Structure 1
């Protein structure tokens, strides 16, 4: 309750700001999604029932801008319909949270400092992304030094994480998939008329413990590479190449790579695209170092199939992936579109006992309909046609059961208030 009071007080302070050059916006983000899961994220086991549920995100975004200052606050509740018993005096599932809270101070027209809890997202969101598909999203507690001038940007990011205030030591005991203790990165990007290229160098430090679980310094993982876009006549190409090195764990060396290339063509209102992505892996028969690339803090749901069999909380330190895909997006009306996408999956590294590297084929279908301003309906269906070798990377589960997933999502994102130059406008 104290947190809610704090956010309300902060909102009132912003609403009463009287600076003539300031602007205030208040937006809502209400999203409800029904899902039917029968093999989502993993092969469906024998003698099990499919899962169904509705999950909802209720988010309030407050943005404030004046000549040399930007503030942004975002609070949200993420819950499953029915997870809180009716007529309780409080929300027992502790689903209310601070999603973003940052300030950006402009030193001059080119340089600024941005600090606080924030989304960090670049390029196609493969390494850094907001993960907006997940209701809770992804944020970083970080400080950024930013430069922007004439089609060129440079960001330098820094983070140091602790689980609480302490008078002794800096042990970081919060465990999770690639939850870092320290982070430093440099991101550079140059835009031309029809092309762009970026460069990223990222270092993550993770807490290390000795054999009796005492803190023993950190081990570090580095990721560096590029993302690019350029046209050749009517075909637009985009791609990336990254290399990871350092440590996969405290005592395990890492050497891994990622490479992708996509070509797209859009005559009239229909988009056609063909592409592939290679993510290196470690042989199941044994290897002298870890060769498994992991895309870290990106929006991984948008890659390698919507059924999330790869790199969405899984497939770390595994055999990698070769993903060949084709997609088509076409208009079905003035405010609607239809996506059809197919993936051919194969292991990048060798499977045990010389098994076939082919893992399976996935088909994704998504329909999008804009109902009115700020309101969108999305319908989706995906089917995984798993090969026998898929069992070798999914815990031995049977590959020949039906594996499919269906969902329906309603997104409502209205602008509630726009305040500019002492004028307040309420949006219907």
Structure 2
């Protein structure tokens, strides 16, 4: 989007607020994040093979940004980002063999917002889009380079509700080149445009009620995709429900996917209890998620739910083995805060394929684990996730985690079926 490239000029042209210099109005932000990861069998479930993805490596990310509000009605944001992957056997090319790769200092954010934050405003430029629990649209912050969009977004804020209307194109990571979306890449073959309406209300005092509709247009060698994702999300507030909470999200899709007619669905059901008066503030919850699959890929109709642009890392296991499509996930979650600055979580997931006539899709929604095996058992396996996060100083956070995947009958029926392990340690410095 051309406006993303013109914003540095706007920093010089916008008039300063009376009585203040530009230097007094600038708010700088800085983040340095380092994560060491160790993975074994997370891609091939085969202990007999020393894959390039069975490795220990380090991921580093640095962000430097500035926000400027020269007037109550004008807000400008710029942020650059540099990401690196070190000590890895994988190619340092983003997304190859699951790699985070190297992406030298590039433009992550560049936006101007005009309007009243408590009323009507419009935001244009490179920005983050995130809605609800990010099961469909989110920045995927776990990923080293994360996700942004070149977008124009109209926002209206009322006392008990708000509404967003946007049109956008996702920014593609290009190693050693300026990262661009299809809006500013005239040679792009995808011609991708992602638009939506998102409405959120607190008219019901004890819950947040969301309604949304997203439209995706994209062209590729398989054909043109044009489909609408519509849904609703209802999230209970434990402080108003005597410790109880719940989430219900129901989603449908209709349209065209790569030349086929598309009808698909997904849903998420969750209920939990919070011991609000306990010093450790424990929470125990059970949840069930499902996304439709396509049992007959040759009939000219598509039924695999399309996960759009989600943050899949937290909801379906920290090993990132599943997306919200052709899957069923039963999960039990326990969380507690042993100290005011420390949080621990223990999650147990059990996964099935909705239909073995379709593939097992990883968190990116495109990479598959095994070739389609219609006669295999549908149980993919179980995952145990343990995390500990703590604030070491006001600006420094530490996250430790370990995950183990217990291979299920589906893997045993389709090839190597060894268990997988994933461990990590992450330090994040924020100013």
Q: Same fold (TM over 0.5)?
A: yes
Match of residue 376, structure 2, among 337, 341, 355: 355
CA positional deviation for 1:43 = 2.5
- What SS is found at the alignment partner of 1:389? helix
**Equivalent residue for 1:75?**
80
**Equivalent residue for 2:427?**
410
**Equivalent residue for 1:228?**
234
In 1, the alpha carbon distance for the partners of 2:132 and 2:400 equals 26
Q: Is the 8 A contact 2:83 2:103 kept in 1?
A: no
- What SS is found at the alignment partner of 2:144? coil
Counterpart check, 1:332 vs 2:338: yes
In 1, the alpha carbon distance for the partners of 2:14 and 2:73 equals 19
Q: Is the 8 A contact 2:334 2:346 kept in 1?
A: yes
Match of residue 396, structure 2, among 375, 387, 406: 375
- What SS is found at the alignment partner of 2:307? coil
Cα 1:41–1:149, aligned 2, differ >3 Å: closer, same or farther?
farther
Counterpart check, 1:261 vs 2:269: yes
- Look at both structures and tell me which one has the larger radius of gyration over its CA atoms: 1
Structure 1 residue runs of 5 or longer lacking an equivalent are 1-5, 84-91, 175-179, 211-215, 415-428
Match of residue 209, structure 2, among 178, 190, 197: 197
Counterpart check, 1:241 vs 2:250: yes
Cα 1:350–1:82, aligned 2, differ >3 Å: closer, same or farther?
closer
CA positional deviation for 1:108 = 8.5
Cα 1:46–1:332, aligned 2, differ >3 Å: closer, same or farther?
same
CA positional deviation for 1:241 = 0.7
CA positional deviation for 1:288 = 5.2
Instruction: Please give the residue correspondences for 1:130-145 in structure 2 after superposition, counting only pairs within 5 Å.
Output: 130-145=139-154
User: What's the CA shift string for 1:396-417, capped at 9, x where partnerless?
Assistant: 4411x23110000001102xxx
Cα 1:336–1:233, aligned 2, differ >3 Å: closer, same or farther?
closer
In 2, the alpha carbon distance for the partners of 1:402 and 1:140 equals 37
**Equivalent residue for 1:424?**
none
Cα 1:20–1:264, aligned 2, differ >3 Å: closer, same or farther?
farther
Q: Is the 8 A contact 1:41 1:308 kept in 2?
A: no
Cα 1:19–1:77, aligned 2, differ >3 Å: closer, same or farther?
farther
Cα 1:266–1:209, aligned 2, differ >3 Å: closer, same or farther?
closer
Counterpart check, 1:162 vs 2:146: no
CA positional deviation for 1:18 = 5.8
CA positional deviation for 1:112 = 0.9
Q: Is the 8 A contact 1:30 1:59 kept in 2?
A: yes
Instruction: Please give the residue correspondences for 1:199-218 in structure 2 after superposition, counting only pairs within 5 Å.
Output: 199-207=211-219, 218=224
- What SS is found at the alignment partner of 2:313? helix
Q: Is the 8 A contact 1:163 1:173 kept in 2?
A: no
Cα 1:72–1:42, aligned 2, differ >3 Å: closer, same or farther?
farther
In 1, the alpha carbon distance for the partners of 2:65 and 2:130 equals 18
Counterpart check, 1:384 vs 2:390: no
Cα 1:282–1:219, aligned 2, differ >3 Å: closer, same or farther?
closer
Structure 2 residue runs of 5 or longer lacking an equivalent are 1-5, 89-100, 170-180, 358-372
- What SS is found at the alignment partner of 1:300? coil
**Equivalent residue for 1:125?**
134
**Equivalent residue for 2:177?**
none
CA positional deviation for 1:350 = 3.9
Q: RMSD across aligned C-alpha pairs, in angstroms?
A: 3.0
Q: Is the 8 A contact 1:285 1:353 kept in 2?
A: no
User: What's the CA shift string for 1:119-176, capped at 9, x where partnerless?
Assistant: 000111111111111111111111011111112111111136537565xxxx6325xx
**Equivalent residue for 2:93?**
none
Counterpart check, 1:24 vs 2:26: yes
User: What's the CA shift string for 1:165-219, capped at 9, x where partnerless?
Assistant: 65xxxx6325xxxxx6222211111114321111111111112569xxxxx9x53
In 2, the alpha carbon distance for the partners of 1:302 and 1:93 equals 24
**Equivalent residue for 1:419?**
none
Counterpart check, 1:187 vs 2:187: no
Q: Is the 8 A contact 2:273 2:285 kept in 1?
A: yes
- What SS is found at the alignment partner of 2:302? coil
- What SS is found at the alignment partner of 1:295? coil
User: What's the CA shift string for 1:374-399, capped at 9, x where partnerless?
Assistant: 2111110000001131366xxx4411
Cα 1:325–1:20, aligned 2, differ >3 Å: closer, same or farther?
farther
Choose between structure 1 and 2 for higher RCO, CA contacts under 8 A separated by at least 6 residues.
Answer: 1
- What SS is found at the alignment partner of 2:392? strand
Instruction: Please give the residue correspondences for 1:14-53 in structure 2 after superposition, counting only pairs within 5 Å.
Output: 19-20=18-19, 23-44=25-46, 46-48=48-50, 50-53=54-57
